[in-house]
Structure 1
Amino acid sequence: MSSTLIDVRAVISCSGRIRRIKSTVSGIQSSFRTTKGRIDDSIMDAELASTLSQINNQLGSLNSGLIRLAQTIEKGADAYVTADGTIRAWGMQISRQQLSDKFI
C-alpha cells in the first residue's frame, strides 16, 4: 500500500503566514483610506476619486481572498489528518483480520 505524507504543521504554518500577509494588507488599506481622506477636495476630481476607490476595493478583495485561502488550507489540513487517521485505522483492522484468519 502506498502512502502520501503531508507535513501538516508546515501546511498550517502557511496559513499563519497568509494571515500575517492579510494583516499587512489590512494595514495598507487602512493607511490608504486615511491618506485618501486627507486629500483636499479642491484637487480631488472624479477620475482620481474613482481610481482611489477602485484601489481601496481591490485591497478589500485581496483581504477577502487571503482569508478564504487561509481557511481552505486549514480545512484541507484538518481533512487530511482525519482521513489519514481513518485509513490507518482501517489498515490496522485489515492487518488484524488477516492475522486472525491465518490462525483459524
Structure 2
Amino acid sequence: MGLAGLIIFSLNLQNAGIAIIGLLPAGLPTLHWPTIPRAHLGELLGAGAGLALISFSSAILTARSFAAKNRYEIDADREFTALGMANIAAGVFTAHGWRARIPNG
C-alpha cells in the first residue's frame, strides 16, 4: 500500500482522472446475516445446489486422494458438514465461499 500511495502522489494521478478508492475500513468485517430478496430465492437455490454438488465432489476427491496417499480413512458425512459450516461462516463474515481443488499428481 505504501508503494502504491507513493506512485499516486508522485505522478499526481488523483488529478489525472484516475479513480482513487480512498481509505478502506480497518479491522475485521462485521458479523451479519445476508438478506436475500424473495424474487431471487428460487434462482439462487438452483445455482447454489449445483455449486454445492460440484464443490462437494471436488472436496471428496481431494480428501480421498490425500487419504489414499497417507493411508487413512475419511467420512463423507463429516466432510460434507465441514464444507457446509465453512461456507456458512464465510457467508456470515462476507468472505468468499470455500472450495476444494483437485491436486495435480
Task: Please tell me the TM-score bracket, short chain as reference.
Answer: 0.3 to 0.5
Determine which structure has more spread, i.e. the larger CA radius of gyration.
1
With normalisation by structure 2, the TM-score equals 0.33
Higher relative contact order (CA 8 A, sep 6+): 1
Larger % of helix: which?
A: 1
